[in-house]
């Protein structure tokens, strides 16, 4: 009988996407680098905006934690289905860990100004410093997404080699990974979220089927 972790861990991917969506909504509400100095300064003087920023930061961190659970579940499933040494599983997991670390770093950089204003009233928002941190957060976010391409492609390659997952899933993953190489233009992050949700569902369904197959007769 599978443990509770084995049965529920794949669904952590769906919860991770939900939390990441909350964090992204907050980011989209932040001032843009091209906004005027007065607009940027006024935004961070608002208590409501600071609260929203803190919520977005912690939602993003929870998303990263849940992503790690999802990646662990994926690694276990890839290793279980692989008759050869798990090089693809190792590459997928390693790329996932690197991507998760960059997601966390992006959230920290993007929230630095918000928490500085929360910590002390002595902090004076400098628009150019904000612009620098915002650009650093964005580039870190792009790097996380592009490294995540390895997670998708190695999983697809494993699926084609072992037939542990449906072939349509493998080919869809190849297309999703290719779209992420254009991560600099923002929109491909939706492909990453959709892939995580789809993979969570596939892992959960196949895990249930396996458990029913190996369950001893009573």
Res. 82 pLDDT band, cuts 50 70 90: confident
Determine contact, residues 71/100, Cβ cutoff 8 Å. yes
Q: What angle do CA 149, 151, 62 make, to 5 degrees?
A: 100
Domain annotation covers residue 213: no
Query: How far is the C-alpha of 116 from the C-alpha of 139, rounded, in Å?
Result: 21
Name the DSSP class of 29: T
**Residues 138-154: tens digit of each pLDDT:** 999 999 999 999 999 99
43 by Cβ neighbours in 10 Å (0-12 / 13-18 / 19+) ranks as buried
What's the confidence (pLDDT) of residue 206?
Answer: 67
pLDDT band at 188 (very low <50, low <70, confident <90, very high): confident
Q: pLDDT tens digits, residue range 120-142?
A: 888 888 999 999 999 999 999 99
What letter does residue 84 receive in the DSSP assignment?
Answer: S
Joined tokens for residue 199: 């993979």
Q: Tell me: pLDDT of 116 over 50.
A: yes
Residue numbers of the domain that contains 164: 4-208
Mean pLDDT, the chain, whole residue set:
86
Residue 7 CB neighbours (<10 A): 15
Count of structural domains, the chain: 1
pLDDT at 135: 94
Give pLDDT tens digits for 197-212.
999 999 988 654 443 3
Measured N-to-C along each axis, helices 37-44 and 127-162 cross at an angle, to the nearest 10 degrees, of 80
Q: Is 9 within a domain? A: yes
The token pair at 83 is 């008759």
SS3 31: coil
pLDDT digits over 9-44, tens only? 889 999 999 999 999 999 888 998 889 999 999 999
Whether residue 55 has pLDDT greater than 90 = yes
The confidence band for 214, taking pLDDT boundaries of 50, 70 and 90, is very low
- For residues 68 and 84, give the distance between their C-alpha atoms in angstroms, rounded to a whole number: 24
Contact between residue 18 and residue 52 where contact means Cβ atoms under 8 Å apart: no
């Amino acid at each position: 009988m599978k443990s509770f972790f084995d049965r529920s861990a794949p669904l952590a991917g769906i919860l991770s996407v939900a939390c990441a969506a909350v964090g992204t909504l907050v980011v989209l509400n932040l001032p843009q680098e091209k906004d005027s100095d007065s607009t940027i300064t006024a935004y961070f003087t608002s208590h409501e905006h600071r609260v929203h920023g803190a919520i977005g930061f912690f939602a993003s961190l929870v998303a990263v934690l849940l992503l790690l659970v999802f990646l662990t579940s994926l690694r276990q499933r890839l290793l279980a289905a692989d008759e050869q040494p798990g090089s693809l599983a190792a590459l997928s997991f390693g790329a996932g860990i690197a991507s998760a670390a960059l997601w966390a770093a992006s959230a920290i950089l993007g929230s630095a100004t918000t928490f500085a204003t929360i910590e002390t009233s002595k902090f004076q928002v400098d628009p150019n410093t904000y612009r620098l941190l915002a650009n650093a957060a964005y580039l870190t976010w792009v790097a996380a997404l592009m490294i995540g391409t390895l997670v998708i492609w190695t999983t697809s390659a494993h699926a084609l080699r072992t037939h542990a997952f449906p072939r349509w899933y493998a080919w869809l993953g190849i297309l999703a990974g290719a779209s992420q190489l254009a991560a600099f233009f923002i929109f491909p992050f939706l492909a990453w979220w959709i892939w995580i949700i789809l993979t969570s569902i596939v892992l959960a369904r196949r895990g249930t089927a396996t458990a029913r197959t190996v369950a001893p007769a009573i």
